[in-house]
Amino acid sequence: MPEDFVAQCLDCGHVQAFDPLKTRCRVCGSVWLTARYDYESLSTILPTLLRQRPFTLWRYHELLPVSEPQPAISMGEGGTPLLHLRRLGMMLKLEHLYFKDERQNPTSSFKDRQAAVTIAVLQEAGLTEMVVASTGNVAIAYAAYAARAGIKLWAFVTSLVPAEKMREIALYGAQVIKVSGTYDETKQVAAEFARQRGLYLDQGAKSLPTVESMKTLAFEISEQLTERLGAPGTGFPWRTPTWFVQAVSGALGPLGVYKAYDELHQMGFVERPPQMALIQSEGCAPMVHAWRQGAREAEPVRKPRTRIATLATGTPGRVYTLLYDRMSAYGGTFTAASDEEAARAMHILAKMEGISVEPATAVAVAGVIKLAREGVMKPDDVIVINGTGHTLPIESHLLGNRWLKSVSLPQSARNAEAPLSEGLSAALHTLQTRSVPHIAIVDDHEPARILLRRVLQSLGEFTISEASNGREAIALARREHPDLILLDLMMPETDGFEVIETLRADPATAHIPIIAVTAKALTPEERRRLSGRIEKLMPKGEFLTDELLDEIRALLG
Ligand SMILES: *Cc1c(COP(=O)(O)O)cnc(C)c1O
Ligand SMILES: [Zn+2]
Q: What is the pLDDT of residues 248-294, one digit of tens each?
A: 999 999 999 999 999 999 999 999 999 999 999 999 999 999 999 99
Mutating to test ligand 1, I would choose from 363, 388, 391, 392 the residue with most ligand atoms within 8 A of its C-beta, which is 388
| 56-87 residues labelled b (16+ CB within 10 A) or e (exposed) | bbbbbbbbbbbebeebebbebbbbbebbebeb
**Are 410 and 452 found together in one domain?**
no
Q: 458, 468, 417, 443: which is closest to 541 by C-alpha?
A: 443
Can you tell me the distance from the alpha carbon of 12 to that of 10, in angstroms, rounded to the nearest whole number? 6
Burial class (CB in 10 A: 0-12, 13-18, 19+), 209: buried
Tell me if 313 sits within 8 A of 250, measured CB to CB: yes
Domain stop point among 206, 232, 257: 206
Mutating to test ligand 1, I would choose from 114, 246, 320, 386 the residue with most ligand atoms within 8 A of its C-beta, which is 246
Answer whether residue 366 shows pLDDT above 80: yes
Supply the DSSP string of 155-184, one letter for each residue.
EEEETTS-HHHHHHHHHTTPEEEEESS-HH
Give domain status of residue 393, yes or no: no
- Its domain, for residue 484, covers 438-556
Give domain status of residue 8, yes or no: no
Give residues with Cβ within 8 angstroms of 324, minimum separation 6: 290, 291, 296
Can you tell me the distance from the alpha carbon of 553 to that of 460, in angstroms, rounded to the nearest whole number? 10
Distance 221 CA to ligand 2 centre (A): 32
**Are 521 and 424 found together in one domain?**
no
For a pLDDT cut of 90, what percent of the chain falls above it?
75
Can you tell me the distance from the alpha carbon of 183 to that of 286, in angstroms, rounded to the nearest whole number? 14
**Are 426 and 442 found together in one domain?**
no
Q: What is the pLDDT of residues 434-474, one digit of tens each?
A: 578 899 999 999 888 888 888 887 777 788 999 999 999 99
- How many angstroms separate the Cα of 32 from the Cα of each of 9, 26, 133, 211? 6, 11, 19, 11
Ligand at minimal distance from the CA of 29 is 2
**Are 519 and 485 found together in one domain?**
yes
Give residues with Cβ within 8 angstroms of 431, minimum separation 6: 405, 407
pTM: 0.86
Domain stop point among 390, 416, 434: 434
Q: What is the pLDDT of residues 400-444, one digit of tens each?
A: 666 676 666 766 555 556 566 667 777 677 666 557 889 999 999
Ligand 1: list residues with CB < 6 Å. 109, 111, 137, 247-253, 310, 358, 360-361, 388-389
**Are 447 and 420 found together in one domain?**
no
Residue 152 belongs to domain with CATH number = 3.40.50.1100
> Given pLDDT bands bounded at 50, 70 and 90, which one contains residue 55?
very high
Q: 227, 249, 250: which is closest to 237 by C-alpha?
A: 227
Tell me if 93 sits within 8 A of 380, measured CB to CB: no
- Residue 359 identity (one-letter amino acid): P
Tell me if 256 sits within 8 A of 102, measured CB to CB: no
**Are 443 and 548 found together in one domain?**
yes
**Are 199 and 145 found together in one domain?**
yes
Can you tell me the distance from the alpha carbon of 48 to that of 302, in angstroms, rounded to the nearest whole number? 50
Ligand at minimal distance from the CA of 256 is 1
Can you tell me the distance from the alpha carbon of 146 to that of 152, in angstroms, rounded to the nearest whole number? 6
* Helix locations, 198-332, DSSP H: 208-229, 252-266, 286-292, 318-330
Which atom in ligand 1 lies closest to the alpha carbon of residue 251? 9
Report the number of distinct structural domains present in the chain. Answer: 3
Give domain status of residue 196, yes or no: yes
Ligand at minimal distance from the CA of 346 is 1
Confidence at residue 1, expressed as pLDDT on a 0 to 100 scale: 43
Domain stop point among 182, 206, 230: 206
Give domain status of residue 530, yes or no: yes
> Given pLDDT bands bounded at 50, 70 and 90, which one contains residue 395?
low
Answer whether residue 369 shows pLDDT above 90: yes
Return phi, psi of residue 374, to 5°: -75, -5
Q: What is the pLDDT of residues 4-14, one digit of tens each?
A: 899 999 999 99
Which atom in ligand 1 lies closest to the alpha carbon of residue 248? 9
Give domain status of residue 357, yes or no: no
Distance 35 CA to ligand 2 centre (A): 13
Can you tell me the distance from the alpha carbon of 187 to that of 326, in angstroms, rounded to the nearest whole number? 26
State whether residue 216 is helix, strand or coil.
Answer: helix
Residue 159 or residue 431, greater confidence: 159
Return phi, psi of residue 163, to 5°: -55, -35
